Amino acid sequence: MGAALYIRTSDADDAEASRNGAAFIDRVPTPVGIELRESSALERFEGIRLYLSAITEKERRTLWIESLGPLAQRLNGSFDRLVDSFSLDATSINSAGALARETASLSVDKSESVLTTLTWNICRTQARRSLDSLAHRIESKATWDDLVLPDLQCQTLHQIVLHVRRRSLVQNDWGFSNKYARGSGVTALFSGLSGTGKTMAAEIIANELALDLYHIDLSSIMNKYIGETEKHLRHIFDAADESGSVLLFDEADALFGKRSEVNDSHDRYANLQVSYLLQRMESYHGVAILTTNMKQAIDTAFLRRLRFIVPFPFPDAAQRQAIWRQIFPEQTPISALDYKRLAQLNVPGGIIRNIATHSAFLAAEEGTPIRMEHILRASRIEYAKIDKPLTATETGGWS
């Protein structure tokens, strides 16, 4: 046919692919072009090398303007944040822009807020394809009203949202990206006991920013073979950079633990994994949230590079009472609940949610509103599950 062959290698960068690829190329008589990731094992092939740099912020902005057409001006102040949040390639930008124009033309409401929301959601859908196969997407429904924390922690969480929303202005327009070479991403560590609201806070941040939240499954990342863990992490971070998503590393101490003294080859490669993570976190453009029950187990080098560290304390009686007052949905039938006595149950918000759910099913079975007796029975079930005794102090005064 007189045609050339262009090969996209995707993830085929291991030693076996390198050997098979070399044998295959030797048999192909026509010109061959191979698309590789930087530092891929396939770079050993002989031939002319062309390095294509990533799309710059300025180039991506121009592509978005061309793709959206007149719609770009209708987005007004939201346009800069859209360009900053979604680091799509040229093909994806053209597809998203064409779909946004078509959807906007069919929309009855042509207001700026509606067009902005339509375009933003199209970009979210376009961008999430790169991460859906690598991590679990969480539907974020929680709001600020659902979270009960001290004022300092709440203010810090609002600061995280502010840093993301104003990133384009500070980094690009105010010149911070030219002065500081490190990544412009926002990284935070949420530390505290289970059930104190760490995951809920991550959902609230993602919901407030209208970004997807992805839970990173550590079991699918960690691999005993040398280099495999780093490869999995690279794929996740690369995909996340494109999608603008919020990454949630739950129980991060297992992955971001302290580096140890080198006694054997296993220690050496474990330390290399942590060093790679340090480098990748610094260059990451998006939002990464790490949660841990053991802050002291996190490598101190990570702590220095985190922009925010938010401790989630065990709720006191007043905070537990506030949690109980908002734990049930508005349409849930309740009867004569004594929130001050409910706050005597010395458990965090996650356990309170479980008790509330158990009590709802007990009341539904009896066909009555939720009463104190249902919550008492539900508390016994939950306490038995966590091997904790339900003391007389916690249930004193209950009928």
pLDDT value at 262 more than 50: no
Task: Tell me, yes or no, whether 306 and 329 share the same domain.
Answer: no
pLDDT value at 21 more than 80: no
pLDDT at 181: 60
The distance between the two most distant Cα atoms of the chain, rounded to a whole number of Å, is 89
Task: Tell me, yes or no, whether 186 and 258 share the same domain.
Answer: yes
Q: Which of 185, 131, 148 is nearest to 305 (CA)?
A: 185
Measured between alpha carbons, how far is 314 from 331 in angstroms, rounded to an integer? Answer: 29
pLDDT value at 46 more than 50: yes
Tell me if 11 is assigned to some domain. Answer: yes
**Domain stops at, among 83, 99, 130:** 130
Phi, psi for residue 214 in degrees, rounded to 5 = -115, 125
Task: Tell me, yes or no, whether 281 and 300 share the same domain.
Answer: yes
Task: Tell me, yes or no, whether 175 and 290 share the same domain.
Answer: yes
Task: Tell me, yes or no, whether 198 and 296 share the same domain.
Answer: yes
Range of the domain at 247: 137-312
pLDDT value at 353 more than 80: yes
Residues 202 and 214: beta-carbon distance below 8 Å: no
pLDDT tens digits, one per residue of 112-129: 888 899 999 998 888 887
pLDDT at 39: 64
Task: Tell me, yes or no, whether 274 and 361 share the same domain.
Answer: no
Q: What percent of the chain has pLDDT over 90?
A: 38
Task: Tell me, yes or no, whether 24 and 66 share the same domain.
Answer: no
Task: Tell me, yes or no, whether 204 and 115 share the same domain.
Answer: no
Task: Tell me, yes or no, whether 167 and 282 share the same domain.
Answer: yes
Task: Tell me, yes or no, whether 328 and 288 share the same domain.
Answer: no
pLDDT at 49: 85
Structural domain tally of the chain?
Answer: 4
Strands (DSSP E) contained in the chain are 5-8, 32-35, 136-138, 186-192, 213-216, 246-249, 287-292, 308-312
Tell me if 50 is assigned to some domain. Answer: no
Rounded to the nearest 10 degrees, the angle between the axes of helix 265-283 and helix 228-243 is: 10
Burial 332-367 (b: 16+ CB within 10 A, else e): eebeebeeebbbbbbbbbbbbbbbbebbbebbeeee
Identify which has the larger pLDDT, 28 or 361.
Answer: 361
Both tokens of 270, joined, read 């474990």
